[in-house]
Amino acid sequence: MLARLEDYREVAPPGTVDLLYRLSEKVKGRSLLNINSTRFGGGVAEILTRLVPLLNELGVKATWEVIQGSDEFFAVTKSFHNALQGREQEISERMYQAYVEVNRENAKHLLFEADMILVHDPQPAALIEYGPRVGKWVWRCHLDISQPMRRVWRFLRNYVVKYDAAIFSLPTFAQKLPIPQFVMYPSIDPLSDKNRELGRREVNKILDRLGIPRDKPTLLQVSRFDQFKDPVGVIKAYRIVKKHNDCRLILAGGLADDDPEGKAVLDEVKESAGQDPDIHVLELPPNSNIEINALQRAATIVIQKSTKEGFGLTVSEAMWKGKPVIGGDAGGITVQILYYLTGYTVSSVEGAAFRIRYLLNNPQVARKMGADAKEHVRRNFLITRHLTDYLTLMSVLAER
C-alpha cells in the first residue's frame, strides 16, 4: 500500500508536513498534468508514481499521462537521449520525422486541460507544438544536456523555447535558453521498499540469500555495469585497501536491456575480480529494491566512484541509511556529498583507496559522517522536499 502524506511526519524534518499543507493552500484546486513516455521503469516513472497521489492528497488535481509510440519511435528517442548526453549518433531525417509524427498523433488524444503541463524529458517535448496554450507549459529535463550533439539539440531546442519554463536537476546540466530555467533536485522516497527501515534479521536473511558473509567490513557500490561508474576502478581501490585492511567488496548492479556495452563492462569486472573470494559481483534483476536496501544497510562504506554521472541518487539512498559515501567528483554526487562532512568526493583510484582506509580505521568518524549524511538527505533529498518544489513552482508560475 502506498504511504500517505501523514506517514511522512516520522521521517521528514520537523514542521515539513504542516508547511506542505499550508503551502498547498496557495494552489489548492489547480490542476497539474504530467506527461512522460513510460509508466514503469526508470527514475521518472518511479518518482511520479509517488508524487502524483501525494499532490492529490494536498488538493492539487494532479494527473499523469503516458505517450504511446512505436518501437521505431523509442529507438529514435533512445538515440536522442544518447546524443543529448554527448554520444555521437547517426540520426536521419526520417528519424526526426518519426519523432514529430508520434508527438503529433499523441497530441490528438491527450487532453491538455490543466493549469500546468509538466512534460518530462525529450520524448514528448514536441507536444507543445500541437497542444493548446491555456495553462503553463514546463519542460522537465532529467538529463545532463550540457554537451549535446549540436544538431539534435538545435532540433529539440525549437520546441523547448516555446515552453514557459524549463527545469534541470543541476545548473551544470542546462543550456542557454530564452525562457526561465529552474533547478530541482530529484529525490528518494524514504518509505519505499528501497529505502524503508529494515530490521537486522531481515537484512541478514537477504544477505544469506545473496551469499554474502558478514564476517568483515563491507565496501559496496550499487550501479549499472557501465564504464562511467568505474567498477574496475573500485576493484583497484579495494586492492590497495586490502593490503592494510581486511574487507569485502560488493559490486551490485544490473544490465539495462538497451545497453550492449554493459555486458562487456561486466565481463571486464569479472576478469578484474578474478578468483578473489572477498569480491562479490552481483547481477541483480530489475526491481531488486529490498536487496539493494539490505546491501546498503549492511555496508560499512558505500562507494559511487563515477567518472561521469547524472544525479546519482544511489548516493542519497546510502546516506539515508546512515552510511558515509565516497563518490566520484561528478554530476549530482557533488551536491549530495558535503566534502569532509558527509563523505568524500575523489578524483582517482588512489584517492578512493585513501579515504576508504581512513574511514575503516576511524569508525567513529565514519559513524558521525553517516549520521550527518542521513540528516543532510532528510532536509534536501527526500520526496517531501520535492513536493515542496512542485507546489512552489505552481505557485510561482500562477503569479506570472
Partner 1 sequence: MHRVAKTPFEFVGCTELREILGSKAEDELQLMDLLEEVPIESIYHHTHQYFLRHQYLMGPYPNDFATWAATQVRDRVLGERLGVIDPYDFDTLEDLREALIAVIDDHLSRLLGVPRVEDGKPFYFMQSRRVEVPTGMVARTLQEFRDGLAKVDASAIYYHFYAARVRGNGRAGDFVVWVDRELQMPELAQQLRTIDPYTFSLEQLRDRLVEICDTVLIPGRQSDAGSS
Query: Do 278 and 247 meet the contact criterion of CB atoms below 8 Å apart?
Result: yes
- Count of H helices and E strands in the chain? 14, 12
**How near is the Cβ of 342 to partner 1 at its closest, in Å?**
7
Residue with cell 562507494: 303
**How near is the Cβ of 253 to partner 1 at its closest, in Å?**
27
Q: Which is nearer to partner 1, 178 or 277 (CB)?
A: 178
**How near is the Cβ of 399 to partner 1 at its closest, in Å?**
9
Q: In angstroms, what is the C-alpha Rg of the chain?
A: 22
Q: d(Cα 333, Cα 383) in Å, to the nearest integer?
A: 18
**How near is the Cβ of 226 to partner 1 at its closest, in Å?**
22
**How near is the Cβ of 116 to partner 1 at its closest, in Å?**
13
Q: d(Cα 131, Cα 138) in Å, to the nearest integer?
A: 13
Q: d(Cα 55, Cα 388) in Å, to the nearest integer?
A: 10
Q: d(Cα 73, Cα 203) in Å, to the nearest integer?
A: 42
Instruction: List the grid coordinates of 350.
Output: 588512489
In the chain, which ranges are continuous DSSP H helix?
16-24, 43-57, 71-84, 93-109, 150-160, 200-210, 231-242, 260-273, 289-298, 314-320, 333-336, 349-361, 363-380, 383-399
**How near is the Cβ of 259 to partner 1 at its closest, in Å?**
28
Instruction: List the grid coordinates of 160.
Output: 523547448
Q: Which is nearer to partner 1, 202 or 375 (CB)?
A: 375
**How near is the Cβ of 389 to partner 1 at its closest, in Å?**
7
Q: Which is nearer to partner 1, 41 or 171 (CB)?
A: 171
**How near is the Cβ of 74 to partner 1 at its closest, in Å?**
30
Backbone angles phi, psi at 36, to 5 degrees: -140, -165
Q: Which is nearer to partner 1, 13 or 53 (CB)?
A: 13
Going by C-alpha positions, the residue among 326, 313, 311 that lies closest to residue 365 is 326
**How near is the Cβ of 82 to partner 1 at its closest, in Å?**
24
Residue 41 φ/ψ region, left for φ over 0, alpha for ψ in the -120 to 50 degree band, beta for the rest = left
**How near is the Cβ of 347 to partner 1 at its closest, in Å?**
7
Query: Do 226 and 220 meet the contact criterion of CB atoms below 8 Å apart?
Result: no
Q: List CB contacts of 318: < 8 A, sequence separation 6 or more.
A: 220, 222, 296, 299, 302, 304, 325, 373
Element (H, E) at 127: none
Amino acid at 306: S
Q: Which is nearer to partner 1, 132 or 171 (CB)?
A: 171
Q: Which is nearer to partner 1, 77 or 169 (CB)?
A: 169
Which residue ranges make up the site for partner 1 (CB under 8 A)? Answer: 13-16, 18-19, 22-23, 26, 168, 171-172, 174, 176-177, 180-184, 329, 334, 338-339, 341-342, 347, 372, 375-376, 378-380, 388-389, 391-393, 395-396
Q: How many residues does the chain have?
A: 400
Residue 322 φ/ψ region, left for φ over 0, alpha for ψ in the -120 to 50 degree band, beta for the rest = left
